[in-house]
Each structure stands twice: as structure tokens, then as C-alpha cells.
Amino acid sequence: MPLLELRNITRRFGALTAIDKVSLSIEAGEFFTLLGPSGCGKTTLLRMIAGFDAPDAGSIWLDGRDLADQPPERRPVHTVFQSYALFPHMSVTRNVAFPLEMAKKRPDEIAARVKQALAEVHLEDKGASFPHELSGGQKQRVALARALVNRPRLLLLDEPLGALDAKLREQMEIELISLQRDVGITFVFVTHAQPEALALSHRIAVMRDGRVEQMDAPSRVYGFPANRFVADFIGNCTMLPVSVIEAGAHGLRLASGALGEIAAPPAERARSGQSGVLALRPEQVHIMAANAAHELKNHFAGRVRDFLYIGDVTTYVVELENGLRIEALLANSAPGRARFFEVDEPVKVAWRHDAGIFLSD
Amino acid sequence: MAAPHAARLTKWLIAGPPLAFLLAFFLLPSLIMALASLRYPGEFGGLAPLAARAGEESGLTLENYALFFGDWVYAQIFAKSLGIAALTTLACLVMAYPLAMLIARSPKKRRDFMVLLVILPFASNFLVRVYAWMIILGPLDLLFTRFAVVVGMVYVHLPFMILPLYTNLEKHDPDLLDAAEDLGANAWHSFWRVTFPPSLPGVFSGAALVFIPVLGMFAIPEMLGGKDDWMVGNMIKEAFLGTRDWPFGSMLSLMLTLAVLLIAGAAALYARKGAPHA
Amino acid sequence: MPESRWLWLPSLAVYAFLYVPLAIVVLFSFNDSRLSAEWVGFTLDWYRKLAADDAMLAAARNSVLIALAASLIATVLGTMAGIAMHRYRIGGLAFMVLTPVAMPEILLGVSLLVFFIQVLNLTLGLVSVLVAHITFCIGFVAIIVRARLAGMDESLFEAARDLGATPWQEFRLVTLPLILPAVTAGALMSFTLSIDDFVITFFTAGVGVSTLPLQIFTMIKVAVTPEVNAVSTLLMLVTLSLIVLASRVAPDALKGRA
């Protein structure tokens, strides 16, 4: 039995349907992420699980029991808020002890568990400090410790890493993964940052306009996006407009206008004559000198229009003969060299016959 | 929200007591006074009974309103009150604006101190502040004149104009003035075109905070003015405590309330409209 | 941008305008002369007379009693009103809380006069004054408390509930401690307003009871002696310290009124 089940949840705010018949189930011990752009409804869903909002239709089940009519304080669910919401008039110790005091635990048990919780987030010596004396990362960890100290069934995290700078965020991502693993509690994480979602989660639910577009493991969401929105939202993607010439069990033959034929991996619902796009990830597209030898099925000539140097890799924007632009990723193997190809240089781009994914319109 | 019954109970536990108190001691009395304006005065003052009784006037009547609209004198006093209120408001505005600008431009620490200096005279009792002017104007032979009344009104209400103005001006972008200067505006133009328009919500807040209380004042005209300077407040006081014609006093109070509501409404409307400038 | 003398000159003039009359009152409370026209000599006579003035002392006692009771009750009710106005949409609540503050005092005074006598058949006295004071003080406290709540992070209250606190526990352990400065400032403001009130008290006190402001008014109308200056100076000192105290406790509470 799944730990948390959302059954046909609908929530409306006036004329706006914020959540549209969403159903999903989350297993115990999972790190589950709700991913989507602002306004997609992910925070609304989180608040309903926590008890601060109620669905207009549908139900929420935790451990096989309907949560309806249960106020937030009676749900074994805790939240790490975006602003951390640490009580400014209480010390770190008292903040972390708060849920235990509400659960009426004995003082000696409280002291021991607070100590353990602070150790879990590496803040053992900050017990007597007050929130305003802490850095952003430290506040975040106190918020985590506080929400985990009495081992709730579910931990909800509302974009907790948003306010941290890039380096700190990466650090916290690693800490979050190991924390979740050590403590074994189910995490429901809300974010709009897809690299974060890919890095942290066991499963991701990609949301748009109140609906779940795709729910799957990160590698499958990335590698096999269900539609154009998901393909575009997760990672970078070039969409080549194509139409299906022949669809078979071994692969697709696609026509792409002036470029000619492209070989693509099989797609279940592709039919001959269908139009759509071929979604190609930059790392699948190889860039090489115009006359270089290779063995890849799909290859086209073009010119470098632009490039983006990120340090470890460079993304090239190559304009093909028919005016289409395609992104190709190349690792920078020689240190100190920003790029191998110059703007306007004639190059060849190529990819395997089983690279890319066909998405119908 | 989950557990709707508990949440609603909490809501009424918190809002209930103050609501009940204000219903009983603010709304109800106001309604009763509105009703009183439609009654006859009692034989020995106060109100006549509502139920019909032989030999006495009773029941409801519009005679109080007829009296007000029939006799020119009352309209004159109303107009005079409005005039004094307007004059006071204007004087307060002119005096308050430079000080409010200065405070808004001062560094934070000095600002707080300057604001405190504005609030402190408030510590003195209202009567004392009026009495001070009796002392000053007496020897100057200006006591019991219209001038004295206005000076007193301005003195008592000035802080109410300074504070909202300063709160508004504090939020102005100082770069705008530099930009204006850069583009060739002189000081007066800078002020009139760049500073004044966005300060209008503050001006209207302050004006409402001065105009409305002044309209209802009776103590200042009584202490600093002559018989000629009676305002609506004096008439109301006289009706309730002097001639004990309560219906008439109630009617006057209602007219005053109406005037205040109209002005407050206009100010609120403008405050909302003027917001885009800020 | 240099602050030009166009601002400094009128500003200093306004400060002088505000303070000089009060200084004169204080000064002449020490003047050894009945006619407060010229300075004759320093004396504490008027303060001595004050100490012996039974009517004045009784009025002072009433003022303090009423102010204590009114500020206590108004603070409790006003805090509740401020929280309710911030959290809930209750039709008419804001109107009823704020109108007594916005309206000319005379209207509240006369309507309560009619209400007490006509409807409640109550003899005017301490109780009627107390009720009247509470009515207009509630609004001030509510405004201050609501402003404080508006500036706080909403998720703090939700976090308390999320972590297991019932609504009452959340109020006692999180909301109340955090709004305490505003509540205190409200209490101090109420006390000051109550002690200083003249207009509303004038209509609701009746014949038997006098407060300090009423006594001062009578003195001014009947026979002006420097005793008025003396009691004014003392009253000024009291309310001054209260305002300074309030500004220390909650510095922003007093500023963003309008």
C-alpha cells in the first residue's frame, strides 16, 4: 500500500482551476519531487497535504486513512517552508524541541532527540544560537532538523533551496540525499528547478497548469519525455520539425523537409504521415570538422552560429543548411581552450540512428 | 481549511468579544441617536416617549430636519465650520510640508529623533495646548477672535498633517530630483512637477486627519473664540447640555456625520486613485 | 542633494511654533504672580496649592483609575480585533473598529450620552466614562497590532500548526510573544489617550465625577490661576514619559498610522 495517495484532487480559486483531477501515489521511503513552472499548482498540492488547504473534490489518504477534516496539527506530516519559518524568539534548541513539546514528550527524551537531530544536520554546537545569528544554509538545516526530529510519516519541502547560492545549493543537495537515506523518511519536494529535481529524486511528477504531465524516474523523464512540454522543461532540447515516413518496430524513418531523411528510434504511437518533432538532447548531437570521418547514420552540414562556454562543456549552436538551428555539446578536454570551433566555421553534426525521441503534435 | 468547525469556532472566539462590545457601545448608540433625531423633545429635556400619550407630543417627526433646512442660521454655522476646517487644513499643509520634506530627506537616526520631536507636544493635554494660546493671545488682544480659533486648531492638529506627509515623502526616489535638475528644472519646478504629485495621497491622508476632527470641535471655539465663532460642535453641545433639546442635537450630529462620511469617502476614493503615482 | 535653507528655516519655525507655547505654560507654572503676564519670581506655590486641592486630587485619582482599567480592557479587546482584522474577512468588523477613531469625538460622546440615559437608564459616572474610553481605544490598539501582524512572515504561524500546535498553543507560544511589543505600545497609547481625553469624557461624566482634563477645563473657564499651569506641567511630564517609553518598546508602531 502506498504511503500517500492523492485521489482525483481538484481545487479551484474562483474561475481558476489550480489543480485538475490529480491522482498520484507515493511510496514509503521515496524522495518524490513535484516539478513545474510557477503557477502549475505544486505548492497548492503541498499545502493540501499539510492541511492548510482543502481540496474541492477528491481525497488524500495517508497510511490508508482519509486525511479530510484533520487539522494540520493532527497530521503526522511536517513541512520545511521556503522562508524556513524559524521562530525568531526561540533558540535553535527550542525551535527543534518544539514539535516534541507539542507531542508532550518527556524533557529528558526531548533533550536527547534534539541533540541527535542537530547532529544529523551537523549543527551540534549551534543549540544556543538564535535564528538571526545563523546563515541561510544553517537556518535551512535547523528547519530540517526541526521537521524531522519527531520522525513524521512524511516530510514536505517547499522550494527550500531557492534562497541559497549555487555552491551552497549543491552542497545541500548532497546532504539532503544522504539525510533522506539515513533517516528513511518519505520526502515530498517541490521545486521549479529541474536540475535539482533530477539530482535528488527517486521519482518526479512534472506538472503544468494543475495537471501531471509525466510521473517517472528522473532518467526516464529526461530520456523519454512524454510530450513537448516535458521535453522542453527538463534539460535542453532541440526540436526538429519532422513527419513520419515509415513507422516500424525497429525504428522510424522521418522526413525533415530540406534536410532529407532522419533515422530515429521506434515510437509506440507513431503512424505514417504523422507530423511532430524530433527532440534531440545536445549531448546526443556530435559536432565535428566538416570533412571528419564517422559512422553515424544521421549527419548534416552546417555552420557554427554561436557557442556557450560553461567550463567543462561548450554548447554550440549550429545552423543547418535549411536554416534550422541545432545544439551540440562538446566536452572541453583540453584545459584552457574555450572551444574547438569558431563562429562561421563550417562543421558537421551527426547523431546515432537511435538518438532523439519523436513527439507527435 | 481542514476541520472547519474548529476553525470557525476559533474565528468567533477571537472576533466575538470586540465585535460584541462595539455593537453594543458604538453601533447601537449611533442607531439610537439616528432614531432620536426623529423624535420630539421631552417635557424636561431629553426625549419624549415614542408611544402616544395624551397631552404630550410623542412619536416620530421630521420637525428637527425641517428646522435645520428652514432656518438660514444653521446652514451658515455649518458653512462657517467647513470654512474654518478648510482654512486650518490649508494652513497645516503649508506649515507641515517643508518639515515633512526635511524629515524625509534626513538620515535614518536623525529622522526618528525628528519624528519623536513632532509627536512629543502631543504628550501635553489638548486643553493645555489651547490654554497656552490663551496666555499668548490674551495680552496681544487677539483672544476671542476668529484668528485665535484658527491658530488653536492649527496648533492642535499640525502633527496629524506632518506624519502622513512624511511617511509618503520618505518613499520617494531621491534620484528623480537629480534627474529633474539634470534636465534643467529649477527648484520650484522640481518641487511642483516631481515632488508634489506623488505626495498627493499623503496630502489627502493628512488633510482628512485634520479636516474631520476640526469640523467636530467645540472646545477650541469655546475657549479661544467669541459668540460669533460658534461651530457645529458648539451647537451640538448647546443642544444636549444647554437647552436639552436632544432630538435637535441628534439631528445636528447626524448632519455632521453625513458631512464627515462624504469627506472621508472622497479622500479614500482619491487615495486609491492617486496610488499609481507613488 | 544638499538640504537647502528653504527647508531648514520653515522647519525650525514649525518646531518653535510647536514648543514655545508649551514652554510658556511650564515656565509660568513657576511664576510668582497670579497674572501670568510677566515674570515676577520663581515659586513652587502653585504646586503646593495643587497638592492641597482636594477636587483636583480626586479628579487625578479618577483619571488614573479609569485610564488603567480602560487601557487594560481596550488592549485585550483591541488585540483580539487586530488579529481578527488581519486573519479573517468579517464584514463590518474593520468599520466598527476604526470608525470611532476616525470620527469627531463629539459624535461618540453624544451618542453614548443618549444611549446611557435613554436606553440603559444609567447614571453617568465612572462606569459610563470607562465604557466610552474603551470604545475609542480599541481602534488604536487594533491598528497597531494589525500593522505588526501585516509585517510578519505568515509561514511562522503555519509552521507552529504544522509542527503540532493547536490554534490556542500557536497563539500563546508564537503569535503573542511576537506581537507583544505592539500590544504594549497599544496599551501605553490607550493609557495616554484615556488620561488626556476631554471631549468624550465631557459628555459621559455627568455631574458626580470629574477627571483631570475636566477639572482643568473648569478651572480655565471659571478662574484662571497658574495652578492650571502647574497641573498642566505635571500632566505633560507623565504623558511625555509614556510616549517616550512607547517609542522605545515599538518604534515603528507609532509612525505608520495613516
Domains of chain B from N-terminus onward:
63-277 (1.10.3720.10)
- Those chains having 3 or more beta-carbon pairs within 8 angstroms of chain C are A, B
Residues of B in contact with A71 (CB under 8 A): 1-3, 6-7
Q: Using CA atoms, how far apart are residues A152 and A51, in angstroms rounded to an integer?
A: 14
**Total number of domains in chain C:** 2
Question: Searching chain C, which residue's CA lies closest to the CA of residue A74?
Answer: C164
Give dist(CA B169, CA B177) in Å, integer. 12
CATH number of A4-231: 3.40.50.300
Contacts of A62 in chain B (CB under 8 A): none
Domain carrying residue C1: 1-43
Q: Looking at residue B277, what is its pLDDT?
A: 45
Instruction: Please name the member of B26, B105, B125 whose beta carbon is closest to the beta carbon of C100.
Output: B26
Q: What pLDDT score was predicted for residue C36?
A: 53
The verdict on C3 and C106 lying in the same domain is no
Q: What is the pTM of this model?
A: 0.81
**Cα→Cα distances C160→A121, A351, C165, C170, Å:** 21, 55, 6, 6
Provide the shortest C-alpha distance from residue C232 to chain B (in Å): 6
The ranges of chain A annotated as CATH 3.40.50.300 are 4-231
| Residue in A67, A74, A89 to test binding to C, most C beta-carbons within 10 Å | A89
**Per-residue pLDDT for C38 more than 70?**
no
Which residues of B are less than 8 Å from A72 in CB distance? 2
How confident is residue B56, by pLDDT bands cut at 50, 70 and 90?
low
Question: Is A131 an interface residue toward C (CB < 8 Å)?
Answer: no
Contact between C244 and C189 (Cβ < 8 Å): no
Residues of B in contact with C84 (CB under 8 A): 11, 14-15, 18-19
Residue B278 has pLDDT above 50, yes or no: no
CA distance B12 to chain A (A): 18
* Chain C touched by B225 (CB under 8 Å): no
Contact at CB, B3 and A69, closer than 8 angstroms: yes
Asked if the structure places residue C119 within a domain, the reply is yes
Residue type, C89: R
Q: Which residues of chain A have pLDDT under 50?
A: none
| CATH 2.40.50.100 placement within chain A | 236-360
- Assess if residue C173 is contained within a domain: yes
CB contact under 8 A, C163 and A99: yes
Rounded CA separation C83/A247 (Å): 66
Rg (CA), chain A: 25
Residues from chain C that touch A79, judged by Cβ atoms under 8 A, are: 158-159, 162
Task: Identify residue A358 by its one-letter amino acid code.
Answer: F
Q: Which letter, b or e, does each residue of A251-266 get, where b requires 16 or more Cβ atoms within 10 Å of its Cβ?
A: bbebebeebeebbbbe
| Residues composing chain A | 361
Chain A positions touching C174 (Cβ under 8 A) are 87
Per DSSP bridges, beta strands A186-191 and A16-26 are unpaired
- Which residue do the cell numbers 433625531 mark? B37
pLDDT in tens, C124-157: 888 899 999 999 899 989 998 998 898 888 899 9
Determine contact: C141 vs chain B, CB below 8 A: no
Tell me if A207 sits within 8 A of A36, measured CB to CB. Answer: yes
**Eight-class DSSP state of C58:** H
Q: Are strands A203-208 and A286-289 parallel, antiparallel or unpaired?
A: unpaired
Q: With an 8 Å Cβ cutoff, is A76 touching chain B?
A: no
Q: Establish if A71 touches chain B: CB-CB under 8 angstroms.
A: yes
Question: Lowest-pLDDT range, B171-175, C8-12, C194-198?
Answer: B171-175
Report the residue of chain C nearest A50, measured CA to CA.
Answer: C162
* Residue A111 in grid coordinates: 533533550
Contact C93 B15 (CB under 8 A): yes
Among A348, A340, A345, residue whose Cα is nearest residue A290: A348
To the nearest whole number, what is the mean pLDDT of chain C?
Answer: 85
**CB within 8 Å: B6 and A53:** no
CB nearest to B6's CB, from A53, A54, A71 = A71
Q: Are A278 and A239 in contact (CB under 8 A)?
A: yes
Residue C164's pLDDT is 93
Residue C258 — very low, low, confident or very high, per pLDDT cuts 50/70/90? very low
- Residue C184 and residue C90 share a domain: yes
Greater confidence (C152 vs C50) lies with C152
User: Chain C contact for B123, CB < 8 A?
Assistant: yes
Q: How far is A59 from chain B (nearest CA, A)?
A: 12
Of B123, B112, B87, residue with least CA distance to B166? B112
The C-alpha angle with vertex B170 and arms to B164 and B174, in degrees rounded to 5, equals 145
Same domain, C17 and C105: no
pLDDT in tens, B83-97: 999 999 999 999 999
Q: What distance lies between CA C92 and its chain's CA centroid?
A: 25
C31 alpha carbon, distance to own chain's centre: 29
Spell out which residues of chain A touch residue B2, defining contact as CB-CB under 8 Å: 51, 54, 67-72
C11 lies in some domain: yes
Residues of B in Cβ contact (< 8 Å) with A70? 2-3
In C, which residues are within 8 Å of B124 by CB distance? 22, 25, 232, 235-236, 239-240
CB spacing of A83 vs C161 below 8 angstroms: no
Q: Is C257 within a domain?
A: no
Tell me the CATH number at C197: 1.10.3720.10
Q: Are A146 and C178 inside 8 Å of each other by CB?
A: no
CB contacts < 8 A (B, C): 251
Per DSSP, A2 falls in state: -
Q: What is the pLDDT of residues B215-254, one digit of tens each?
A: 999 999 988 888 888 899 999 999 888 888 888 888 899 9
Cβ atoms < 10 Å from Cβ of A194: 21
Q: How confident is the model at residue C252 (pLDDT cuts 50, 70, 90)?
A: low
Asked, for residue C191, whether it belongs to a domain, the answer is yes
* C74 falls within a domain: yes
Q: Is residue C69 part of a domain?
A: yes
Q: Are residues B111 and C231 in contact, defined by beta-carbon separation less than 8 angstroms? A: no
Number of neighbours of residue A23 by Cβ within 10 angstroms: 12
Using the Cβ of C151 and the Cβ atoms of chain B, whether some distance falls under 8 Å is answered with no
SS (H, E, C) chain B: CCCHHHHHHHHHHHHHHHHHHHHHHHHHHHHHHHHHCCECECECEEECCCCCCCCCCCCECCHHHHHHHHCHHHHHHHHHHHHHHHHHHHHHHHHHHHHHHHHHHCCHHHHHHHHHHHHHHHHCCHHHHHHHHHHHHCCCCCCCCHHHHHHHHHHHHHHHHHHHHHHHHCCCCHHHHHHHHHCCCCHHHHHHHHHHHHHHHHHHHHHHHHHHHHHCCCHHHHHHCCHHHCCHHHHHHHHHHHCCEHHHHHHHHHHHHHHHHHHHHHHHHHHHHHHHHC
On the question of pLDDT at B173 being above 70, the answer is yes
**Residue where the block lists cell 479636516:** B211
Q: Minimum mean pLDDT among A57-61, B10-14, B236-240, C166-170: which range?
A: B10-14
Q: How confident is the model at residue B43 (pLDDT cuts 50, 70, 90)?
A: low
CA-based angle C29:C30:C34, to the nearest 5? 70
Helix (H) or strand (E) holding A26: strand A16-26
When scoring C162, C171, C174, C175 by the number of chain A Cβ atoms within 10 A, the one with the most, hence best to mutate, is C162
Q: What integer is the mean pLDDT of B112-127?
A: 82
Q: Which of B15, B131, B213 sits opposite C25 (nearest CB)?
A: B131
B102 touches chain C (CB under 8 A): yes
Average pLDDT over residues C180-197: 88
Q: CB–CB of B7 and A71 under 8 A?
A: yes
Q: Which of residues 22-81 of B touch C (CB under 8 A)?
A: 22-23, 25-30, 32-33, 36, 46-47
Average pLDDT (B139-156) is 88
User: Residue B235 and residue B238: Cα distance in Å, rounded?
Assistant: 5
For C234, the closest chain B residue by CA position comes to B124
One CATH from 3.30.70.980, 2.40.50.100, 1.10.3720.10, 3.40.50.300 for A236-360: 2.40.50.100
Is C258 a member of any domain? no
| Confidence bin at B199 (pLDDT 50/70/90) | confident
Question: Does C14 share its domain with C71?
Answer: no
The reported pLDDT for the residue numbered B271 is 66
Three-state SS for A286? strand
Provide the chain C residues 237-256 that lie in CB contact (below 8 A) with chain B.
239-240, 242-244, 247, 251, 254-256
Backbone φ and ψ for A206, nearest 5 degrees, come out as -85, 125
Same domain, C96 and C185: yes
CA C198-C200-C206 angle, 5° bins: 95
Residues C10 and C68 occupy one common structural domain: no
pLDDT at A207: 94
pLDDT above 80 (res C225): no
Listed range (B198-207, B268-277, C186-195) with the worst mean pLDDT: B268-277
Cell of C248: 522605545
